[in-house]
Amino acid sequence: MMLVHLNQPDIAELAHNAWLKTIEDGVHTYDIFKEGVSKEKVGTKEFAQAVVDRLGQKPETLKPVEYKKVEEIAEADRKPIYSVLNPAKKELVGVDVFLHWWNGSYYGAGTELGQKLEAAANGDGLKLVMISNRGTKVYPKGFEDTFCVDHWRCRFMSDNDNREITHQQVINLLQRVQAAGFDFIKTEHLCFFDGEPGFSLGQGQ
């Protein structure tokens, strides 16, 4: 394929058909040699020489290959230079706030963090719906024996039937999180596109 890419389809065709002819003639390397099918067991050096010896020949049982020049391929498969897609309807429905937080324990910390966040950050049309740690939901109704580290994903979404939220609500949320003494390290917006979620649902969602 590299030779085709370099617009040398005639050379590519010559080499490929010689390789097919070698296989067809039963000249096989150790990894594909099979008693009763193969005729000659060779190493890679001998196999390469067998291919060279068959340059200009085509297989008779196997289907020979034919390659076209780049300009012929382009002419047969014309595509527009660009295409304009109808933009999808985008709705901001939530935000994942990632925290660096450590209370000194590897276990049971999710419940403590969740309760503190709900008290400090819920409001203004947003509520905490879940917290995960290392990909596992730990709040609400997480397992107390889940091993946790100091990196937490806290998912906030609308607290009413109007699922779409605003950027200002996200900004206000981060201000409340910061005011409560939490160290947020990044955020990821959660959006719907034409009514379909463009993000992965968490456990239990």
Q: Note the pLDDT tens digit of each residue in 35-60.
A: 999 999 999 999 999 999 999 999 99
How many Cβ atoms are within 10 Å of 53's Cβ, its own excluded?
14
**Is 84 part of a structural domain of the chain?**
no
pLDDT at 26: 96
- Residues 151 and 102: their CA atoms lie apart, in Å, by 8
pLDDT at 204: 65
**Is 203 part of a structural domain of the chain?**
no
| 185, 188, 189, 191 alpha-carbon torsion, rounded to 10° | -170
Strands 40-42 and 27-29: parallel
Residues 6+ apart with CB under 8 A from 197: 93, 190, 191
- Tens digits of per-residue pLDDT, 11-29? 999 999 999 999 999 999 9
Find where tokens 């939490």 sit. 182
pLDDT at 93: 94
179 plus 113 within the same structural domain: yes
- Structurally, how many domains does the chain consist of? 2
| Domain enclosing residue 44, as ranges | 2-76
The residues facing 16 across adjacent strands are none
| 108, 112, 113, 116 alpha-carbon torsion, rounded to 10° | 180
Between 76 and 115, name the one with better pLDDT. Answer: 115
49 plus 114 within the same structural domain: no
Q: Got the DSSP string for 30-88? A: TTT--TTT-SEEE-HHHHHHHHHHTTT---SSSPPP----HHHHHHHT---S---PPPP
72 plus 96 within the same structural domain: no
- Tens digits of per-residue pLDDT, 77-95? 666 666 677 889 999 999 9
Given 21, 52, 76, the domain boundary residue is 76
- The residue type found at 197 is P
